Structure 1
């Protein structure tokens, strides 16, 4: 059993979660501003085509996350959680702020989308290593019996970052005339990443390394050949872990990130209203995650995740049907969706951490999460808009979240069949 210093534990919780929040603010603000910046960087006679082109770059950053997961994950497992997390937050914040300074297509032509793509590449690579490092920092520093709620805060910070991103987008849409918002106002949202990143950088420079990582390094001094690789996990084990995360990435990126553009393109809902709904969804998810994380400390990770994932399967289509009725129906539906995100997201960080030993935790967690978010998260906003567009039926988007939830349901059942003790809440050293 590791000896945990509560003061250092709380500092790690804040530094890890705050950095996670900045990362996802930067991703969220790109999604929220997609309808505004789409014609500026991808001019087209078809507004839907411009939005889809903009979201293709949103997806690109997610597809690069597995590469960043391997590169930064291995660095984190070799050098430590703290130094690599400092590097990552610097790269991510700089790339996001630079987007706010980019000239548009009308000013420099094709170089505008090229430079935007380069910024998204840096964001994607950096974000790939952030999840594994930040979650490892938080969970490994947590007191015994509280890894669920500590880990939940690291994911809750993601959703609260969407609230912040949506709040910034809503405020800008509220106080600025549409022409000012599209000409220069959108840049403010991206430039805010710089001061936020500086604050988190300071926090991470002053956080201590985790007890589990220190113990591992001490053990490696007596066995220098021990290397942090994934050789002890079978392919089926990694595949199961990958599948578990699918539902969280799908519902989060569908109901929070992609929803403003989905509502504006499918139902012509004003941006102000669609932003507000996304903010409420994120706020609900962020506030309920710690509850479900704490519940998983009491009853186990797997039972909570099974219940939440099953609810996504049952409620996906009814929620989209409610969204189609207008603002009031959408409000009720997205509050319920926020609770579902909280249910599948709250226990997730602790469960993923407990499936990998310390020597490969950041790499394993980052890679399985990054692959899942690349295939089922970053593509979600694009897919739901595309499905609604080609079928002419906006409710067809519901089958995406339903299908993803089925994948996770199968993966969770495989955990019981093959690894009976995985849900009991023990970190492997």
Structure 2
């Protein structure tokens, strides 16, 4: 559990930290005639990471079925290291010109490949390792670890924005969170190398094939649509730091504080949801919160945009 959660949280931390520092990354790698274009280019490159995530999910998921969960999760750690290292050390546009944004795009593609490949094997591992009647709670650590990643990234962002000037944050401060992630990667590798393998406990894994996927295509499509709802909410929440700085014109420390709250709430309610669905079933826990979110999203954004202060955020 510790190895899976730590590695998963670290990979999500490396991936979403880009979103929290998108304003500064945009100014470093995507200079343009106006601030909005710079921001849009930066956010577009954040989206590039999602282009390769489905590919990573399919390829590394198949690899995990063939050789085991642990080798697949070690592979994703190696890939995220390459992508994060590139982001941390690549000079800005002012130093190396157009090569800078090209390298950043390639790094985001590698990060996306790693994260796409991480979610399947790590989720399978958590569920396969769960004792009877606890699969919901064990599986909920997948999203719970994402909450931990957001929480840590937000706390680090608050600390940096409170202790550094805007010039320092823009010049080199935004690189520090990526460097910290790199320092923690050896710990994640050490933990994962000692993991047991859960695949052998589940004979049905050997029946995985493209024919089976086609046979269950309708169920897979339905599951994708269900997951989409939560995924959209997650990345809207991750964008709120940038939204607060650029649109609401709030201080960076305040914007990062919102990220901390998002991470904490994600962690707490992911685990609560996992525990409740083991007691009450899966469907109700998927349907009712999603209906509630769809009803309150628009009025919540409207209120936040009108007030434009830290309390509303």
- TM-score, normalised with respect to structure 2: 0.95
Q: How does 1:282-321 map to 2 (within 5 A)?
A: 282-321=263-302
Does residue 189 of structure 2 align to residue 208 of structure 1? no
Show the counterpart of 2:257: 276
Show the counterpart of 1:111: 99
Separation in structure 2 between the aligned mates of residue 172 and residue 56 of structure 1, nearest angstrom: 25
Mark the runs of 5 or more structure 2 residues left unpaired by the alignment: none
Show the counterpart of 1:152: 140
Is the alpha carbon distance of 1:64 and 1:178 closer, same or farther for their aligned partners in structure 2, counting shifts above 3 Å? same
Instruction: Report the more deviating stretch, 301-310 or 313-322.
Output: 313-322
Separation in structure 2 between the aligned mates of residue 76 and residue 176 of structure 1, nearest angstrom: 43
Q: How does 1:46-125 map to 2 (within 5 A)?
A: 46-125=34-113
Mark the runs of 5 or more structure 1 residues left unpaired by the alignment: 1-12, 221-225, 332-429
Q: Is the 8 A contact 1:260 1:275 kept in 2?
A: yes
Is the alpha carbon distance of 1:41 and 1:328 closer, same or farther for their aligned partners in structure 2, counting shifts above 3 Å? closer
Show the counterpart of 2:114: 126
Q: Is the 8 A contact 1:277 1:330 kept in 2?
A: no
Q: Is the 8 A contact 1:86 1:205 kept in 2?
A: yes
Separation in structure 2 between the aligned mates of residue 114 and residue 181 of structure 1, nearest angstrom: 23
Give the drift of 1:327: 3.0
Q: Is the 8 A contact 1:97 1:193 kept in 2?
A: no
Q: Deviations over 1:327-363 (max 9, x none)?
A: 35424xxxxxxxxxxxxxxxxxxxxxxxxxxxxxxxx
Secondary structure of the 2:89 match is coil
Does residue 166 of structure 2 align to residue 178 of structure 1? yes
Which of 19, 26, 29 is equivalent to 2:14?
26
Aligned residues: 311
Which of 218, 223, 227 is equivalent to 1:245?
227
Is the alpha carbon distance of 1:175 and 1:219 closer, same or farther for their aligned partners in structure 2, counting shifts above 3 Å? closer
Give the drift of 1:14: 1.4
Q: Deviations over 1:213-261 (max 9, x none)?
A: 20446995xxxxx554352533322210110101110111102x10011
Q: Is the 8 A contact 2:82 2:110 kept in 1?
A: no
- TM-score, normalised with respect to structure 1: 0.70
Which of 5, 21, 29 is equivalent to 1:41?
29
Give the drift of 1:89: 0.7
Give the drift of 1:121: 1.1
Q: Where do 4+ consecutive residues of structure 1 move more than 4 Å?
A: 216-220
Q: Deviations over 1:134-169 (max 9, x none)?
A: 111111101111111111122111011011111111
Give the drift of 1:97: 2.4
Q: Is the 8 A contact 1:322 1:329 kept in 2?
A: no
Does residue 169 of structure 2 align to residue 187 of structure 1? no
Separation in structure 2 between the aligned mates of residue 103 and residue 21 of structure 1, nearest angstrom: 27
Q: Is the 8 A contact 2:154 2:256 kept in 1?
A: yes
Separation in structure 2 between the aligned mates of residue 196 and residue 204 of structure 1, nearest angstrom: 13
Q: Deviations over 1:367-405 (max 9, x none)?
A: xxxxxxxxxxxxxxxxxxxxxxxxxxxxxxxxxxxxxxx
- What is the Cα-based RMSD across aligned positions, in Å? 1.6
Give the drift of 1:118: 1.1
